[in-house]
Amino acid sequence: MSQPEIVPELAPLFHPRSVAVIGATNNLTKWGFSTFYSLMRHYQGDLYAVNNRDAEILGYPAYAKITDIPGPVDLAVIVIPPEKVAGVMEECVEKEVKAGVIITAGFAEVGRQGKAMQDEVLRAARKGGIRLVGPNCMGMWSASANLTAFMFPLPIMEGPLSLVSQGGNVGGALVSDAVSRGVGFQHYISCGCTADIQIEDYIEYMGNDDSVKVIMVYIEGLADGDRFVKKVKPVTLKKPVVALKPGKTEAAARAISSHSGALSGSDMIYDAAFKKAGVIRTETTMELLDVAIGLLTQPLPRGRNVVITTPGGSYGVMCADACATLGLNVIDLPPGVMETFNEMFPSRWSHGNPVDPAGDRNLIQYLKAPDILLRYPEIDALIFMGFGSFSGISAMLTSAGGQINKRLESMRKRMKGFEQTARKYGEMLDSGDHTQIREIIEIGLGMLFGSVMATSSSDMEEFINMVSDALTSEQMRQSSFFKGLKKLFDSVAEGDLDAAKMADIMDLIAPMLDAIISHWICKYNKPVITTTFNEAVSRIGEGGHYPYSNAERASKVLAKLVEYAEFLESEGKKKAH
């Protein structure tokens, strides 16, 4: 993992070799207990407990003061009453601590007296060159050190995102939501009152870490807007920064002042600063994470022209409305597309954009449509409505068990003598021998779909070609699709394939569809954004595809991708002149 070169004094914060928790305790009702417990569960470096009353904390020896610790301490995590923090900071300077995380609240956010205590702490820290997170923060995470310095255990995993949040609750919720969607973080900083290190400093550091692909920020207020723009713009020219900034109303501005001690400032000024710095602004926590995932999983569009495909007209109408409202162009279909679709679809199809086959049951023709559309240079992006819902086929098969069993019985009679071949293919997949991978996919898909779908041989051949192209990459060969395919071959070999097992095996449709989407994105270098038709939380697929729950979310993500692409294009033109 590359280590950022800029802001080198932050390295001990993200890569500490040793950590001391000042205020660690055995009392379950205190934050010092959950903070120490959170660290001891994951952190692999030297961990010390500082407590002047107990001799031992959760099995670790306790030291009365940080200066009593025999070894060096890179990072101090402080969870004690606010009036004691300045004195402890003097001891940290004596101990030559490099960085600190002050979880304690009761500083600038509570008024003048709290601000005076915060200034006293900062003066003490600066005498020893100690860099500080907080105060009044939830803590931090660094993947490189497996450092979970949180005030309570928080589920988090390593991944390509970084998050800086001025609010602990918002940050914790975003982290939990991201993990539930299957994406993790290199860094998470709950920065609180930002007495020392400013939000733009964290962004600058993360911007120079190659393992970070997208930076997310929750901002309540900035100390210096010009400094923010100056430090963040070089980052946004390399990678996206996505921000959520509340405070548009007087009520929100008052809440911000009492929460983080920040001055909210004019919303118009913040909007202008974000645009100048190339920061993508969002309106909600859901949108913040949606857009970050979109930037992780999609290429940037070359323009605003979008085509929508939908299995039902009503959702297509809603998507067209959402796109047009956001300034995306729901364009007329090129003449060549119209001719092709007239041959593919029933005469009742929509004959326009959105593309709606009007209830046609031929799934294979519907899956061919995006591949045809994406070939046209005038189409910059595609929104595929309902794509993520196809994996529900397994539930349908379970309810139709009797009919499926009849079709499977017919298939078994046709394939009498195939048991040995099925066993061979199952063993090849189990061993990782993929020398006949295309043949394996062809036979497996033929059994899988031929048994439950009324499709012509030409349709099946086209479908197998499409899926084979998508699945023959090394990455996809390790996917759950092939695990499901092995189950299919094993069941055929044992002669016990029935509707219940077929329904279970059909769950491999999801990774197969994910592979197809990822293949299109790679092949055409255009965004292909998909949706489900329900509000259940989706997870990023094995190929990197993420389906959003509705048209509005998908359209907003595409609009933000366009916004960032246009920023980069504008800056490129400025540089050229």
220-to-96, 230, 284, 386, 480 alpha-carbon distances in Å: 32, 19, 13, 36, 42
Which segment of 35-49, 177-191, 281-295, 450-464 scores lowest on mean pLDDT? 450-464
Model pLDDT, residue 489: 79
Instruction: Evaluate whether residue 190 is within a structural domain.
Output: yes
Residue 164: pLDDT band (50, 70, 90) is very high
**Residues 264 and 407 both lie in one domain:** no
Q: pTM of the full predicted structure?
A: 0.90
Q: Is residue 533 part of a domain?
A: yes
- The total of structural domains in the chain comes to 3
Report, as an integer, the average pLDDT of 360-379.
87
Question: Token pair for residue 462?
Answer: 């086209």
- Between strands 75-78 and 139-142, the pairing is unpaired
**How confident is residue 252, by pLDDT bands cut at 50, 70 and 90?**
low
Residue 78 has pLDDT above 70, yes or no: yes
- The rounded distance, in Å, linking the Cα atoms of 51 and 27 is 11
Domain match, 280 and 326 both: no
The structure tokens 């004019």 sit at 266
- Output the pLDDT for position 3: 43
User: Does 398 lie in the same domain as 385?
Assistant: no
CA–CA dist 193, 206 (Å, integer): 20
Q: What is the CA radius of gyration of the chain?
A: 28
pLDDT digits 0-9 by tens, 511-559? 778 888 988 999 999 999 999 888 888 889 877 889 999 999 999 999 9
Q: Is residue 57 part of a domain?
A: yes
For residue 527, whether the previous peptide bond is cis, meaning omega lies within 30 degrees of 0, is no
The domain boundary, picked from 296, 317, 333, lies at: 296
* Ramachandran area for residue 525 (φ above 0: left; ψ -120 to 50: alpha; else beta): left
Annotate 375-403 with b (16+ C-beta within 10 A) or e (fewer). ebeebbbbbbbbbbbbbebbeebeeeeee
Residue with the bigger pLDDT between 433 and 345: it is 345
Residue 520 domain-assigned (yes or no) = no
Same domain, 478 and 537: no
Residues 410, 328 share a domain: no
pLDDT digits (tens, 9 = 90+) for 529-542: 999 888 888 889 87
Contact yes or no for 10/201 (Cβ under 8 A):
yes
Judge whether 1 lies within some domain.
no
85-94, 454-463, 509-518 — most confident range? 85-94
379 and 417 in a single domain? The answer is: no
CATH number of the domain within which 242 lies:
3.40.50.261
Please state whether 211 falls in left (phi above 0), alpha (psi between -120 and 50) or beta.
alpha
Mark whether 55 and 91 lie in a shared domain.
Answer: yes
pLDDT the model gives residue 567:
98
Q: 162 with 128, same domain?
A: yes
Residues 27 and 157 grouped into a single domain: yes
**CA atoms of 102 and 108, how far apart (whole Å):** 13
Percent of the chain residues past pLDDT 90, beyond the cut: 63
Is 2 contained in some domain?
no
Quick one: angle between helices 509-524 and 480-494, nearest 10?
140
- Asked if residue 249 is part of any domain, the answer here is yes
- Could you tell me if 481 and 377 lie in one domain? no
Examine the pLDDT at 254 and tell me if it is beyond 70: no
CA distance 241 to 228: 12
End of a domain among 257, 280, 296?
296
Mean pLDDT of 186-206: 96
In a domain, residue 577? The reply is no
* Structural tokens at position 533: 């038709």
Q: How confident is residue 5, by pLDDT bands cut at 50, 70 and 90?
A: very low
Integer Cα distance of 172 and 156 in angstroms:
9
Average pLDDT over residues 238-253: 81
State whether 71 and 117 are in the same domain: yes
Task: Select from 296, 319, 344 the last residue of a domain.
Answer: 296
Residue 441 has pLDDT above 60, yes or no: yes
Question: Please, are residues 302 and 551 in contact by the beta-carbon 8 Å criterion?
Answer: no
Domain range holding 41?
A: 8-296
Same domain, yes or no: 326 and 398? no
> 396 pLDDT exceeds 50?
no
pLDDT higher than 90, residue 268: no
